[in-house]
Structure 1
């Protein structure tokens, strides 16, 4: 039952390749990030709510979240805007924010 539900949101199990233990570290890092930055700070009221929270976090993680390895830029590169005030856009009900110039 659980595996069917997990597959319905696009998560599939993929065993690590033989003689490639380094692959497990990437999966553990992602799971840890999801726990530390999202699920540990949200009270989940059911499966539908959890699905919404995880999809919102996935969009934040893949499109907005800055990474040190890419000089504090997100996966989708943004142009630098040097003038104007800041606008703070809440993500996940204010758990994270995206800052843009107006």
Structure 2
């Protein structure tokens, strides 16, 4: 299945290739954090650079960075 292979590849390339997993509980926590990032923050080209859980457009304000997965990825928002 192409969709499953694409998702597994994204998880491996964007997450697990950069983290040393310390056990099953740690792996589950990392994967849950990545799933939240993937669904709520990460842009998807097929969704016109929006996330699967749509969010409002932020027009003007200062930009703040929030680390995800201890800084592996970041979420930038206007405050």
Q: Same fold (TM over 0.5)?
A: yes
Q: Which runs of 4+ in 1 moved over 6 A?
A: none
- 1:85-100 to structure 2, matched below 5 A, reads 85-100=62-77
Q: Which residue of 1 aligns with 2:25?
A: 48
TM-score normalized with structure 2 length = 0.93
- Say what the alpha-carbon RMSD is for the aligned residues: 0.9
Structure 1 unaligned runs (5+)? 1-23
TM-score normalized with structure 1 length = 0.73
Which of the pair has the greater relative contact order for Cα pairs under 8 Å at 6+ separation? Answer: 2
Q: Which residue of 2 aligns with 1:28?
A: 5
Aligned residues: 79
- Work out which of the two has the higher radius of gyration on C-alpha atoms and give 1 or 2: 1
1:43 positional shift: 0.8
Counterpart of 1:57 in 2: which secondary structure?
A: helix
1:70 to 44, 47, 62: 47
1:36 positional shift: 0.2
